[in-house]
Amino acid sequence: MNRLLKLALTAVLAMGLTAPAMAAEANPDTLKVALLPDENASELIKRNQPLKDHLERELGKEIELIVTTDYSSMIEAMRFGRIDIAYFGPLSYVLAKTKAEIEPFAAMVSDGKATYRAVVIANAEAGVNTIDDIKGKKVAFGDRASTSSHLIPKSMMAEAGLVHERDYQQHFVGSHDAVAMNVANGNADAGGLSEVIWNTLIERKLVDASKVKVLGYSKDYPQYPWTMRSDLDPALKDKIRGSFVNLKDATVLKNFKADGFAPIADTDYDVIRELGKLLNLDFATM
């Protein structure tokens, strides 16, 4: 009995020692912040340095910026707790929510709205003047888990009666800028991407505007959500939320082309779940 009692005491002591260590993980010294891999990784890291500096000042912690290889690896990293804060697209957030305990807390506001649009483009010499003309053509999308370079453009084509693989060939090229490049150089006849990224590519002359035409814009959809692990320390979560909602740093806002950030909730993304139903997508298996 004495031996059993000693073993029991040892187990209790071990639990007492490991519990605080586990709890400390909810308030780590370094927060890993993942950026949506919808553009060149090095460019994303460089452009978000002011955000890193802002968060380090506001939270009093080291910030590590991360760009995963694709949307799926970002979702998996969040699922296994290797990321603390993540900037998802609406669709990748909905997918991640089915696999991980996360919560959205802020989205950027631009021109007074926390919404954005997708754009469908076509090669200027492909003989495609409307979305209807995409029938029989090659279409470039970004990542399968992308909202504005896959889900929304595909839904626009579906509303025109076009079904992928039956009415057009779909190709996934990874990122928004890759969609624009493939359409501009004729590797694809048409494609879809974020309006903001499209405008940036044209402004910076990374895409020759004379080689591409715009076929149409989507309606407004909820902006990309900033999310965090649900099991983070409640006080830390409040500080993270406040560091975005109360953000006034002009450099950070300029890089996001934002006026500020607004609080959001999971229900704001029910419209994305409805789009998934339109396209017969099973979010749990994507």
Residue 216, burial from CB neighbour count under 10 angstroms (0-12, 13-18, 19+)? middle
Q: Inter-axis angle of helices 270-278 and 152-159, to 10 degrees?
A: 50
Output the CA torsion 130→136→126→211 (10° steps).
70
Lowest mean pLDDT among 31-40, 116-125, 229-238: 31-40
Question: Is the predicted pLDDT of residue 20 greater than 70, yes or no?
Answer: no
DSSP 8-state code for residue 189: S
What is the pTM for the complete model shown? Answer: 0.77
How many Å is the Cα radius of gyration of the chain? 22
Question: Is the predicted pLDDT of residue 4 greater than 90, yes or no?
Answer: no
State the pLDDT at residue 10: 36
Place of tokens 């996001």: 256
Q: Are 183 and 138 in contact (CB under 8 A)?
A: no
What is the average pLDDT score of the chain? 89
Half-sphere exposure of 56 (CA within 13 A, CB side): 11
**Separation between Cα atoms, residue 31 and residue 27, nearest integer Å:** 9
Half-sphere exposure of 226 (CA within 13 A, CB side): 21
Q: Are 92 and 71 in contact (CB under 8 A)?
A: yes
Q: Are 104 and 269 in contact (CB under 8 A)?
A: yes
Q: Are 263 and 241 in contact (CB under 8 A)?
A: yes
Q: Looking at residues 221-241, what average pLDDT do you find?
A: 97
Residue 239, token pair as written in the block = 């500080």
